[in-house]
Amino acid sequence: MRATALPTKTFDKLAGTTACDGLSRLGWQVEAGHKGFSLGESVAAQLHISVDVSCDLIDFGSVQIDGRAERDPGRKLNGGEQVKVFWPQDGIHRWYEVDGRRILYHDRQLLAYDKETGIPSQQTPSDAYNNLFAALHRFLAEKSARPYLALHHRLDRDTSGVMLFAVDQSVNRKLGNAFKHHNIAKDYLAWAEGHPKRDEWIAREDIGRKAGSYRTCPQGQGKSAETWFKVLLRREDRSFIWARPRTGRTHQIRLHLASSGHPVIGDRLYGTASAQRLLLHAYRLSLLHPATDQPLVLTAPVPAGWPEPHELAISPCNAPALCFNTCGSTFP
C-alpha cells in the first residue's frame, strides 16, 4: 500500500490552522490570476509540496472545492473557488481492506458485513480510501467490472457490528424505504457504567447540536429520538444492556445511555476512556428481504475481546414487537 508523509514545512503551516474533527484544515480562495491552473498545481503551490504528492492527496479524498470532495487533480480552476485541505493525521496511507471472513451474508441483492471497530462506515473529510463502503466497492470490483453498492445506514467509527448494503439497484429503493420507515429492527449490545435503576425503560429525549457537539435535550427542542433498553446482566461496576433504537439519530444510543447516567464503557465523547475501545456493538438486523419478502435475520457475533459473556442468547420475543409491514417498529 502507498503511504505519503507530510513535509515538515507543510505540517508547520497546517498546525497553525483551525482544527476540524481532529483534523488539520487549511483553506484558501483561488486567486483570479490562477485561472487555468489545475487543482493539483494549486494545492502543491499552497502547501509547498510536489505535484505528485498533491495529486496523491487529492486522489485520497482529502481536498474539497466549494464544500464538495474533488478527486480529480487535473480539474481546471476558474478563480474564486474555495479550496479546503483536510490532512489525514496518519498521512496518506492506504491500509484498510475488507476481510472476507467477516461477510455475514451475500446474495444477488444484499451484502451484510461485520464492521470492525475503528473503521468509518463511509468517506471522511480527509480520507476516501480507508472506510468500509470504499473497501467493499473494491472487493466487489474484483468480481464485477461495474459493481453496484448502496448504503442506507451507518455505524459510528468506533461501533462494531452488522451493516447491510444493497448490491443490486433493483432493491435499493425498497431497502432504503425499509430503513426510512423503521421497518428494520436494529439490536445493539453495550456494556455501560454502573447499574440502571430499572431493568427496562424507553428513552425519549430529543437529540440536537450545540457548539458543534451532539447532546440530548427536552422533547420539542431537537430531533425526536427513541430507544428501548433492557438490562441483561449486572456486574460489580457495569451492566450489559440490550438496546433497540426506533429512530436513527447520530450517537443516539450513546447519548441516551449517557443521559441516564450510565454511559457506554470506553465512550470518550460522552463518558470516560475506561476501556481500549467503545463497548457498543450492532448485534442484529431483522427485516424482510426486499426481493423475496421473506424474513431475514443478520447477526454479528459479540466481539471476542469484550468482557464475558461472549455469547448470549437474545430472543426477539423479549423485545418490542416488530411489524413486518408498513407500520414499522412499535414499542409497548
What is the set of active-site residues?
Answer: 156
Contact 172, 108 (CB under 8 A): no
CA 204, 205, 207, 211: dihedral to nearest 10 degrees?
-170
Contact 167, 149 (CB under 8 A): yes
Residue 206's CB is within 10 A of a number of other CB atoms, namely: 19
218-252 CB burial, b ≥16 within 10 A, e <16: eeeebeebbbbbbbeeeeeebbbbbbbbbeebebb
Type and span of the H or E element at 315: none
Contact 203, 226 (CB under 8 A): yes
The Cα–Cα gap between 206 and 221 comes to 7
> Assign residue 67 a region: left if phi > 0, alpha if psi is -120 to 50, beta otherwise?
left
Annotate 241-256 with DSSP letters as a single string: EEEEESS--TTHHHHH
**Residue 116 amino acid letter:** E
Q: What is the DSSP letter of 87?
A: E
**Residue 322 amino acid letter:** L
Angle, helices 51-59/39-47, rounded to nearest 10 degrees:
110
The grid cell for 6 is: 507530510
State the sign of the Cα–Cα–Cα–Cα dihedral 292, 294, 295, 300: negative
The grid cell for 47 is: 502547501
The grid cell for 131 is: 472506510
The grid cell for 105 is: 451474508
